[in-house]
Structure 1
Amino acid sequence: MFERNVADGVHRIEHAHVNVYLVEDDDGVTLVDTGFPATFSHIESALREIGRSPRDVRAIVLTHAHFDHVGSARRAHRVWQVPVWAHRREQYLAAHPYRYKPERARLLYPFRYPKSLLILGRMTAAGALGVRGLSDTTPFETGARLDVPGGPRAVFTPGHTFGHCALHLPDRNTVISGDALVTLDPYTCKTGPHVVAGAATTDSAQALASLSALAETAAGTVLPGHGEPWFDGVDSAVEQALLAGPS
């Protein structure tokens, strides 16, 4: 699925329950996260829909480097010859996207939440089990304003992973929250704002604490890594996520 202008000059690609974003300005396009290996063709189609081509992509920025967000990064980096940016604490995971230790055993979740099997099946069909990482990412630091189209500021939101960063677009009143705050949890099928289940989160307590950094952006629109955009302000999204707690 492709949605144009979920925020000003920000377009959403949803594939296998993972969101990828195209951020446009006069200098070109920034691709935020890359989904799965099979997402690559959907990204190319979305570029064509907005009158762009891969030549217009100036950078790829990862909110974090789990396999479902780094899945097309290696191919895009090599084929398009564009840099892939990641927080310095995500660089190891970007190279080894399966080498992370979740807070809870993920294999138990389909028994507790059988509806998640449909989501996980679609992810598998999109290449979730065959993601290859990349070792030559371009590092950025906490709080940095990235020199890429859209000029996003990196908001350090650890907990889901050690180096997770949301991307604040202040001139567009928008924050791309990645998996720091989602409106669909693939492991539980819960909807509405919350942090991702311990099946994929390193430290849920830290993830909940990091929501304060999201709230400080005061953004009107929240664009999550999974689920529908949230247009009722980041404060209300954070409030609901805190009430929901960990799962």
Structure 2
Amino acid sequence: MSGTRTSRLGRIDDGVREVADGVLMITRAATNSYLVDTDDGLILIDAGLPRSWSYLIAALSAHRCAPDDLVSVVLTHGHFDHVGTAERLQRDHHVPIHVHEADRPLVRHPYRYDREASRALYPLRHPGGIPALARMARSGALAVRGTEALGDVVAGVPLLGGLVPIATPGHTSGHMAFHLPDRDVLFTGDALVTFDPYTGRAMPQIVARAATADSAAALAVLPVLATTRAATLLPGHGDAWTDGVENAVVLARATGAH
């Protein structure tokens, strides 16, 4: 626990900046994780790519803390680009990893996921995504180790730090978003992003069919996010959205699946 909530820190490092009160966005290759300073201690939402480790250390250092000080890692889902540092945090620093039960097998094997379109052919149809996918590969996307996670994240049951899980299946079967009501912030993971690395498109949207299990379900669940009325949306990919989650949902539903 850092003891004092950090605010107005601005940019900490090339890949770390404050995006809400006590919330640091850690970004590597257009993939985000979030260090959240809470009354229960420091919590990491998603674990990014392996080479985001140095940025995580920089974020922790801003609180005069180290990996051993993390109280938990909470995963929105188990895809490889969201669990990249989880195995290291668990193995070397004994940080517990939490996820919805349905995504526990995916955390163990983060490349074995259901999708509606071929990953291999997708860049040929959407060449705008090639630069982002290449950056992800250079950041360790092809060498992520799976790990064991506790399948104890349940929709509506608050977690440490006051995070409220919201069931958002579609991208994966166990995908969860996390609402932090006291700061008017919603962590959407890949249920709703502002940049899609598979297409290179920057706008509120669901993730491409090459990485989504059920696009129809992913679109259908978006109104649930809107019910939070959160002012700030913090996605798994892309910039923070500060124009209200309702507006982001309208745009994403209009865009549809791709």
Give the TM-score, by structure 1 length. Answer: 0.96
Distance 1:135 1:3, change over 3 A: closer
Q: Which residue of 2 aligns with 1:95?
A: 108
Matched, 1:117 2:141: no
Matched, 1:85 2:98: yes
Q: What is the DSSP-based 3-state SS (H/G/I as helix, E as strand, rest coil) of the residue aligned with 2:162?
A: coil
The AA in structure 2 aligned to 1:190 is R
Q: Which residue of 2 aligns with 1:227?
A: 238
The AA in structure 2 aligned to 1:225 is G
Task: Assess if the C-alpha contact under 8 Å between 1:222 and 1:233 holds in 2.
Answer: yes
In the TM superposition, what is the alpha-carbon distance from 1:139 to its structure 2 partner?
2.1
In the TM superposition, what is the alpha-carbon distance from 1:4 to its structure 2 partner?
3.6
CA distance in 1, matches of 2:238, 2:122: 19
Structure 2: stretches of 5+ with no match in the other structure: 1-13
Q: What is the DSSP-based 3-state SS (H/G/I as helix, E as strand, rest coil) of the residue aligned with 1:166?
A: strand
Structure 1: stretches of 5+ with no match in the other structure: none
Q: Deviations over 1:55-106 (max 9, x none)?
A: 3210000000100001110101111111100011111111111111211112
Say which of 91, 100, 119 aligns to 1:106: 119
In the TM superposition, what is the alpha-carbon distance from 1:129 to its structure 2 partner?
1.0
CA distance in 1, matches of 2:111, 2:40: 34
Give the TM-score, by structure 2 length. Answer: 0.92
CA distance in 2, matches of 1:127, 1:153: 30
In the TM superposition, what is the alpha-carbon distance from 1:179 to its structure 2 partner?
0.3
CA distance in 1, matches of 2:61, 2:255: 39
Matched, 1:17 2:30: yes
Q: What is the DSSP-based 3-state SS (H/G/I as helix, E as strand, rest coil) of the residue aligned with 1:163?
A: coil
The AA in structure 2 aligned to 1:245 is G
Q: Which residue of 1 aligns with 2:185?
A: 174
CA distance in 2, matches of 1:141, 1:27: 19
Task: Assess if the C-alpha contact under 8 Å between 2:114 and 2:172 holds in 1.
Answer: no
Task: Assess if the C-alpha contact under 8 Å between 1:65 and 1:93 holds in 2.
Answer: yes
CA distance in 2, matches of 1:155, 1:26: 21
Task: Assess if the C-alpha contact under 8 Å between 1:2 and 1:11 holds in 2.
Answer: no
Task: Assess if the C-alpha contact under 8 Å between 1:10 and 1:24 holds in 2.
Answer: yes
In the TM superposition, what is the alpha-carbon distance from 1:3 to its structure 2 partner?
4.1
Q: Deviations over 1:155-199 (max 9, x none)?
A: 000000000000000000010000000000000111110000101
Q: Which residue of 1 aligns with 2:166?
A: 155
Distance 1:62 1:234, change over 3 A: same
CA distance in 2, matches of 1:99, 1:37: 18
Matched, 1:206 2:217: yes
The AA in structure 2 aligned to 1:165 is M
Q: What is the DSSP-based 3-state SS (H/G/I as helix, E as strand, rest coil) of the residue aligned with 1:77?
A: helix
Bigger fraction of residues in strand: 1
CA distance in 1, matches of 2:242, 2:182: 16
CA distance in 2, matches of 1:71, 1:210: 26
Task: Assess if the C-alpha contact under 8 Å between 1:178 and 1:225 holds in 2.
Answer: yes
Q: CA RMSD of the aligned region, Å?
A: 1.2
CA distance in 1, matches of 2:122, 2:82: 20
Q: Which residue of 2 aligns with 1:62?
A: 75
Q: Which residue of 2 aligns with 1:245?
A: 256
Task: Assess if the C-alpha contact under 8 Å between 1:195 and 1:246 holds in 2.
Answer: yes
Q: Which residue of 1 aligns with 2:3?
A: none
Task: Assess if the C-alpha contact under 8 Å between 2:157 and 2:165 holds in 1.
Answer: yes
Greater than 4 Å deviation, 4+ residue runs: none
In the TM superposition, what is the alpha-carbon distance from 1:137 to its structure 2 partner?
2.8
The AA in structure 2 aligned to 1:135 is E
The AA in structure 1 aligned to 2:19 is V
